[in-house]
A and B are shown apart, each in its own frame.
Chain A
Amino acid sequence: MNFTRTNDVADLEVLLEARNIVRRYPGNIALKEVTFRAYRDKINVLIGENGAGKSTLMRILAGVEEMDEGQIFLDGRPVQIRSPKDAAALGIAIVHQELAVLPTLDISENIFAGRELVKGGTVINRVDEDRRSSSALHRLRKPLPVTTSAELLSLGSRQMVELARAVAHRTRLLILDEPTSALSMPEAESLFQVLEEMKDAGVTIVYISHRLHELMRLGDRFTVLRSGQVVGEGTRGEVTRSWIVERMSGRAEVEHVGRTSVMTDAPIILRAEGISLPPSFAGEETQSPVDHVSLELRRGEILGIYGLLGAGRTELLEALAGARQITSGTIYVNEQRARFEEVRDALRAGITLVPEDRQRDGLVPELSVRENIALMTSSGIVTSKAQETERVRELVKQLSIAVKDVELPIGSLSGGSQQKVLLARCLMSSPKVLLLDEPTRGVDVGTRAEIYRTLRELAADGMSILFTSSEIEETRLLADRILVMCQGRISAEFSRDQLTDEMLFSAASPRASAVLNITPEMIV
């Protein structure tokens, strides 16, 4: 495991090198001088938690996003990648994490969108396009009729269409950003075979995934990103699962927060019994985002739900907050059966949710800090502004929100402060149960620690807190008790002293979750 490397490593082995890439977003740095190498004819695995910068890096290589600093070399020569067209011209293809299929076009049109085959300079050569599309799909063992409209395809087939785009064109570097998240097991299996074949045929592959067993099986080269920095590089054979997880999660960047012991006999405030949500339609397979989930939350407890993207965490919290209708199961508040038709019902029962996407689901950008905080509680006909302002000021102080004047627009605040504003809004209604969906997404380290401390204090005062996270570190730091969610089900439960990072991660990986009620012994 060569963590320090010299610059004169056999460059012939490197197809593409992204050197000292810096990418800044307002408020945080996504990539801090990242140097990433894709080795020729290898499957190069890129690993990291959500927000580590993997997708940003790949989007830069694909010409979707621009870098602020740094250089990209292909075959040792510097290249400029300013648009997806540039990337395509260099033979770089990407299969995006969120599928980029054009719904109203058919398969063949999708494969050649933006790169049509034309005859005489104007007319699309549909015959050649169909022929090449069809042969690409055959190579992928997915012989779909090429005139099928893309919107009729299952998620897995859409993924294959994206892959066919790479196969149908001259591709030297193929980037796959979590390609198996939408695939069934057999589909994933055939994808792996195809990738091995492509590798043998001289295509260099960059593979991003959260699923450890896939990475261990496919990877020739490993690069681990954490918080926008490369924290480990290794090759097949020297890399182990625990090595990966250790690098990924990192250690003690945030100070440990004081913890009060929760009485195991404290009353149960919120209890869910076998709740399910309507299945979402995904091609041939229907899967319920939340599938018979049961949990209990005691007074003063902080319960963490760890899970990967798409595990159903958000949907679960939304169901508990009355934002989604459950199809089966029961929710009890204070051991009394509760029926939430809408968010207001949950609010009345003392349950409130801090949503994951604060821009989309949380803040009203045109309103001031005060108005945003008071949004939920200002339902009376006449709002006493003096009273409201007083309470808002209290909360601003309690949460130490960095704002000079509560009348300033919300947009002038940093991401971390905006998150605190959302928290303050929920606290305005003095809830008994606080639900937080990814409480520190896009929040800087300092503010994180403050948010953790605030949540601790609230719990010590008797508030019950249920949060979800896709970060191992956060889950371990904050939670008294941890549930792991995977494919809509609770796959494991741990007390905080019981577990290791790898246990947590394995329980969240779809394959491991085939075993329900996993125990620590079973994972190791």
Chain B
Amino acid sequence: MTTVARTLSRSDRLASTSARTLLLLLRARAALVLVLLIVVFSALTPVFFTANNLSILSKHVAISALLAIGMTFTILTGGIDLSVGSVAGLGGIVAGYLIAHGVIIHGVHHYPAMPVVVLAAIVVCLIVGWVNGWLIARAAVPPFIATLGTLYIARGTALLISNGKTFPDLGESSHGYTGFTVLGQGQLFGISVPVWLTIVLFAIAVFIARKMPIGRHIYAVGGNERAARLAGINVARVKIFTYLFSSACAAIVGLIIASQLEAAHPATGESFELNAIAAVVLGGTSLMGGRGTITGSLLGALVIGVLADGLVMLGVSQFWQIVITGLVIVVAVAIDQLQTRLQARLLPYLLRSNPEAGV
């Protein structure tokens, strides 16, 4: 077989090199687009590349990046989590309720401490995540349907808890509370807490994906679920984990927003899931599963954030922004398909130039 490699014709080698380059460019598309956007917006409007604007931008990006990071694992297994926006809303409402009303035990109002409030909101969201995972992994409900169902359930529950109203004034320490505003408004070393949270969760997710067995299992399940099962991987557990992780990220987003606004509104997070999916796909993760990275999703979120922010600064109508966001999603998926097809077509070239792999 090595003789084949040695007798490679020049044109083959050329084709193989350009094939590789093309694929590399496609894979790095999010980073390329990001750089391009930053250059263009900086050139068009002087206020874009200022510390003040970047700080605002980073807060916006943090929200969609957190959701995208959570979403990535579910998409890597070949699933999807449509419920994240509603779950974020639910998380905020749970926190808002606990801060505004406390818990009544034996007729006495108890106001739990701040860490307990945060924990409670996360736990409630994790329950939704577990239900998602259970429905998908154990009851074999297609991920799209299962999470569409919990999208409604979570949103409805949030509305029920608040009776459709907003819990206001969460920043005021009327019941001896302080500190809820830190989550959304605090700063550490000049960087806002939401951005820190994004960095921490990003690091955790990358660690899981690259260093932990469960991370490898996520890729395995998405690549070939049957084979993963045959290899002794607990497929159900892997899937449930991804939905739990996604819900945890959504919970944090809900808390950040409630903290930023100092109010919990039951409609918070509507259609956030679409932004998150767009970011993930833009970041090069295949909707078929098995292929993609956390870093890509972060880049995807940055692209969408920068695009929205830049368009605002340029004074583009908000309606156009919606159209453009839609275009980005469609083009991203089309490119994803193109990449898959191209990869299949170029496989012979890729193999031929890598004799050890092909033999």
B358 at the interface (CB under 8 A from A): yes
Check A283–B351 contact: CB distance below 8 A.
yes
**Chain A residue contacts of B124, Cβ below 8 A:** none
B224 at the interface (CB under 8 A from A): yes
Check B351–A152 contact: CB distance below 8 A.
yes
Chain A's closest residue to B226 (CB) is A100
Known contacts A84-B231, A114-B231; A105/B216 CB under 8 A = yes
Query: Per-residue 0/1 for A135-178: is the Cβ within 8 Å of any B Cβ (1 yes, 0 no)?
Result: 00000000111001101111011000000010000000000000
B220 at the interface (CB under 8 A from A): yes
**Chain A residue contacts of B211, Cβ below 8 A:** 122-124
Check B222–A284 contact: CB distance below 8 A.
no
How far, in angstroms, from A158 to B222 measured CA to CA in the complex? 18
Check B1–A284 contact: CB distance below 8 A.
yes
A115 at the interface (CB under 8 A from B): yes
B357 at the interface (CB under 8 A from A): yes
Known contacts A113-B220, A118-B213, A281-B347; A154/B231 CB under 8 A = no
Check B358–A152 contact: CB distance below 8 A.
yes
How far, in angstroms, from A154 to B223 measured CA to CA in the complex? 17
Check A152–B350 contact: CB distance below 8 A.
yes
**Chain A residue contacts of B233, Cβ below 8 A:** 113-114
**Chain A residue contacts of B96, Cβ below 8 A:** none
Chain B's closest residue to A107 (CB) is B357
A85 at the interface (CB under 8 A from B): yes
Query: Per-residue 0/1 for B211-228: is the Cβ within 8 Å of any A Cβ (1 yes, 0 no)?
Result: 111001101101110111
Known contacts A84-B229, A102-B231, A113-B231; A154/B212 CB under 8 A = no
A157: shortest Cβ distance to chain B, in Å? 7
Query: Per-residue 0/1 for B229-256: is the Cβ within 8 Å of any A Cβ (1 yes, 0 no)?
Result: 1111110000000000000000000000
Check A113–B222 contact: CB distance below 8 A.
no
CB < 8 Å: which of A62, A84, A100, A116 contacts B216? A116
**Chain A residue contacts of B348, Cβ below 8 A:** 281
Known contacts A283-B351, A284-B4; A124/B213 CB under 8 A = yes
A426 at the interface (CB under 8 A from B): no
Interface residues in A, total, Cβ within 8 A: 40
A103 at the interface (CB under 8 A from B): yes
Question: Residue among A84, A101, A105 with the most chain B CB within 10 A?
Answer: A105
B184 at the interface (CB under 8 A from A): no
Check B357–A88 contact: CB distance below 8 A.
no
A133: shortest Cβ distance to chain B, in Å? 13
Chain B's closest residue to A126 (CB) is B211
Known contacts A123-B211, A154-B359; A102/B224 CB under 8 A = yes
A287: shortest Cβ distance to chain B, in Å? 14
Check A113–B357 contact: CB distance below 8 A.
no
A83 at the interface (CB under 8 A from B): yes
Check B216–A124 contact: CB distance below 8 A.
yes
Within 8 A of B (CB), among A58-105: 62, 64, 83-85, 87-88, 94, 96, 99-105
Check B227–A100 contact: CB distance below 8 A.
yes
Question: Residue among B223, B229, B351 with the most chain A CB within 10 A?
Answer: B223
* Interface SS of B by simple majority: helix
B341: shortest Cβ distance to chain A, in Å? 14
A301 at the interface (CB under 8 A from B): no
**Chain A residue contacts of B173, Cβ below 8 A:** none
Check A113–B228 contact: CB distance below 8 A.
yes
Chain B's closest residue to A86 (CB) is B232
Check A104–B219 contact: CB distance below 8 A.
yes
Known contacts A115-B232, A118-B213; A144/B357 CB under 8 A = yes
How far, in angstroms, from A96 to B230 measured CA to CA in the complex? 9
Check A123–B358 contact: CB distance below 8 A.
no
CB < 8 Å: which of A143, A149, A154 contacts B358? A154
Question: Residue among A83, A96, A118, A151 with the most chain B CB within 10 A?
Answer: A151
B290 at the interface (CB under 8 A from A): yes
A283: shortest Cβ distance to chain B, in Å? 6
Check A104–B231 contact: CB distance below 8 A.
no
A55: shortest Cβ distance to chain B, in Å? 13
Check B357–A157 contact: CB distance below 8 A.
yes
**Chain A residue contacts of B230, Cβ below 8 A:** 62, 64, 84, 94, 96, 100
A109 at the interface (CB under 8 A from B): yes
How far, in angstroms, from A34 to B239 measured CA to CA in the complex? 37
How far, in angstroms, from A101 to B232 measured CA to CA in the complex? 13
Check A85–B232 contact: CB distance below 8 A.
yes
Check B231–A152 contact: CB distance below 8 A.
no
B45 at the interface (CB under 8 A from A): no
How far, in angstroms, from A180 to B347 measured CA to CA in the complex? 23
B17 at the interface (CB under 8 A from A): no
CB < 8 Å: which of B219, B351, B358 contacts A102? B219
**Chain B residue contacts of A118, Cβ below 8 A:** 213
Chain A's closest residue to B2 (CB) is A284
Chain A's closest residue to B212 (CB) is A122
**Chain A residue contacts of B356, Cβ below 8 A:** 143-145, 148
Check B354–A116 contact: CB distance below 8 A.
no
**Chain B residue contacts of A123, Cβ below 8 A:** 211-212
**Chain B residue contacts of A99, Cβ below 8 A:** 227
Check A102–B223 contact: CB distance below 8 A.
yes
**Chain A residue contacts of B223, Cβ below 8 A:** 102-105
How far, in angstroms, from A85 to B228 measured CA to CA in the complex? 12
**Chain A residue contacts of B358, Cβ below 8 A:** 152-154, 157, 283-284
Check A103–B224 contact: CB distance below 8 A.
yes
**Chain B residue contacts of A165, Cβ below 8 A:** 231
B291 at the interface (CB under 8 A from A): yes
Known contacts A100-B226, A113-B233, A124-B212; A105/B357 CB under 8 A = no
A218: shortest Cβ distance to chain B, in Å? 24
Question: Residue among B290, B350, B351, B358 with the most chain A CB within 10 A?
Answer: B358
A97: shortest Cβ distance to chain B, in Å? 11
Within 8 A of B (CB), among A342-396: none
**Chain B residue contacts of A85, Cβ below 8 A:** 232, 234
CB<8 Å pairs between A and B, sample of 26? A64-B229, A84-B231, A84-B232, A102-B224, A102-B227, A104-B220, A105-B219, A109-B216, A109-B220, A113-B228, A113-B233, A115-B232, A123-B211, A124-B211, A124-B213, A148-B354, A148-B357, A149-B357, A152-B350, A152-B358, A157-B357, A281-B347, A283-B358, A284-B4, A284-B358, A284-B359
Residues of B near any A CB (own CB < 8 A): 1, 4, 211-213, 216-217, 219-220, 222-224, 226-234, 290-291, 347-348, 350-351, 354, 356-359
Q: Which 8 A-B pairs have the closest CB atoms?
A: A104-B223, A84-B232, A114-B232, A100-B227, A104-B290, A116-B213, A114-B231, A85-B232
Given contacts A96-B230, A109-B216, A154-B351, 11 further A-B contacts (CB under 8 A): A62-B230, A84-B230, A104-B222, A104-B290, A104-B291, A113-B228, A124-B216, A143-B356, A151-B347, A152-B347, A284-B359
